Amino acid sequence: MKIAFYSLRDFDELPLCEELAASYGMEFVWTPDPISEENLSLAEGCIAVSSTPCYFPEEFADRLHEMGVKYVTCRSIGFDHLPLGRLAELGMRAANTAYPTECVANHALMLILMTTRRTGMAMAGVANQDFSLRGKMGREIGGLTVGVLGTGHIGRVLISHLAPFGCRILAYDKYPSAELAGLAEYKSFDEVLAESDVISVHMPASDETHHLLDDAAFSKMKDGVCIVNTARGSLIDSFALMRAIRSGKVSGAGLDVIEAENDLVYHDLHGQALDHDEYYALKSFPNIILTGHTAFYTETTIRCMVEDSFRSVALFEEGKENPREVG
């Protein structure tokens, strides 16, 4: 059994592939480049491909199926880039990965603290030998109301981390969690927007959540609200966010993800002119912190992401239930 790994990094993922391929009795081929028309042939003779979020149209599924590929695995929790309908029509099975999501909750907490304390402004000042205080005064989180949109595992962990700070915590989710009794107060979406000093987004990408935070949503928020997004870039209308910052409605934002980022993240594009207006516009704001989709990036998560590709293929081939199957 052989797997074709796309977008594989030689400095962290490759050594794990070499170790795990041996333990699972499999072979692998790899490229550092994302899957594309030019390198689809790498999958010849493979029963599976593994990739990170990337451009993956139905045509790629058709070509891979013709080569004999049976499985597509994602080294990510998100799988919204895959043409799941077409894969199902072709009889191809897909799987994502799972990893301890505390890392994302921890990153969200870091961004909440950085935005409320205007850390981005302070660091930018120090980088330019500006040690003045004007425009850098922060707020104590214990006296704020933090709204958490989405209380799946990551949202719940974040709330448990926030509770000791003494802040008031509001939550919105279609399916409230009994685990949060005494820690957070569930309210309607509009109530969370209206009452929160900080809003942290933890919802999946879907047609329903596309541009969840748009001009209309920002208009319902408190003046000076801070926005944090460690979920999916499509949840926030980037240009609506920038309009809200210019008006003073939003005082700062911590963004680990932005819209249409697949061609940006995990690539060294230093010195290149990028076709990404949102990125250039967002990074021009001194009160926006961008962390380049690294909330997941720890030693533990990388091992989980690589191993799940091998494990999923093994489970599929053995006819066993795969808890990571999607579709």
| CB contact at 8 A, 152 and 158 | no
Give pLDDT, residue 262.
Answer: 81
Give pLDDT, residue 282.
Answer: 97
Crossing angle for the helix pair 102-116 and 153-162, to the nearest 10 degrees: 50
Please compute the mean of the pLDDT values over residues 162-176 and round it to a whole number.
98
Cβ neighbours of residue 75 under 8 Å, at least 6 residues apart? 7, 13, 50, 51, 52, 97, 305, 306, 308, 309
Whether the per-residue pLDDT at 43 is higher than 90: the answer is yes
Helix (H, G, I), strand (E, B) or coil at 173: coil
Which residue is it, tokens 């697949």? Answer: 262
Comparing CA positions, the residue from 71, 7, 9 lying closest to residue 34 is 7
| Chain centre to alpha carbon of residue 256 | 7
State the Cα–Cα distance between residues 207 and 235, nearest whole angstrom.
Answer: 10
- Dump pLDDT digits (tens) for 110-132: 999 999 999 999 999 999 999 99
Please compute the mean of the pLDDT values over residues 164-170 and round it to a whole number.
98
What share of the chain in percent tops pLDDT 90?
Answer: 93
- Dump pLDDT digits (tens) for 132-144: 999 999 999 999 9
293: annotated active-site residue:
yes
State the Cα–Cα distance between residues 164 and 166, nearest whole angstrom.
Answer: 5
Give pLDDT, residue 208.
Answer: 96
Strands (E) located in 1-123: 2-5, 27-30, 48-51, 71-74, 93-95
243: annotated active-site residue:
no
Give the pLDDT band (50/70/90) at residue 69.
very high
Please compute the mean of the pLDDT values over residues 22-41 and round it to a whole number.
97
Give the pLDDT band (50/70/90) at residue 101.
confident
**pTM score:** 0.88
| CATH 3.40.50.720 domain span(s) along the chain | 2-99+298-326, 102-290
Give pLDDT, residue 265.
Answer: 87
Whether the per-residue pLDDT at 1 is higher than 90: the answer is yes
Residue type present at position 176:
P
Average pLDDT over the chain, rounded to an integer: 96
Helix (H, G, I), strand (E, B) or coil at 236: strand
232: annotated active-site residue:
yes
Give pLDDT, residue 171.
Answer: 98
Whether the per-residue pLDDT at 315 is higher than 90: the answer is yes
The structural architecture, per CATH, of the domain 102-290 is 3-Layer(aba) Sandwich (3.40)
State the Cα–Cα distance between residues 203 and 314, nearest whole angstrom.
Answer: 30
Please compute the mean of the pLDDT values over residues 273-285 and round it to a whole number.
95
Whether the per-residue pLDDT at 3 is higher than 90: the answer is yes
Give pLDDT, residue 114.
Answer: 98
Whether the per-residue pLDDT at 28 is higher than 90: the answer is yes
Whether the per-residue pLDDT at 221 is higher than 90: the answer is yes
CA angle 289, 55, 69 (to 5 degrees): 135
* Active-site pick, 13, 259, 261, 278: 261
Give pLDDT, residue 181.
Answer: 96
* Active-site pick, 75, 156, 232, 311: 232
Range name among 13-27, 54-68, 263-277 with the lowest pLDDT average:
263-277
Whether the per-residue pLDDT at 73 is higher than 90: the answer is yes
CATH number given to 2-99+298-326: 3.40.50.720
Whether the per-residue pLDDT at 292 is higher than 90: the answer is yes
Backbone Cα Rg of the chain: 21
Higher-pLDDT residue of 123, 266? 123
* Active-site pick, 293, 307, 311, 324: 293
Give pLDDT, residue 68.
Answer: 98
Give pLDDT, residue 80.
Answer: 86
| CB contact at 8 A, 166 and 219 | no
Please compute the mean of the pLDDT values over residues 182-207 and round it to a whole number.
97
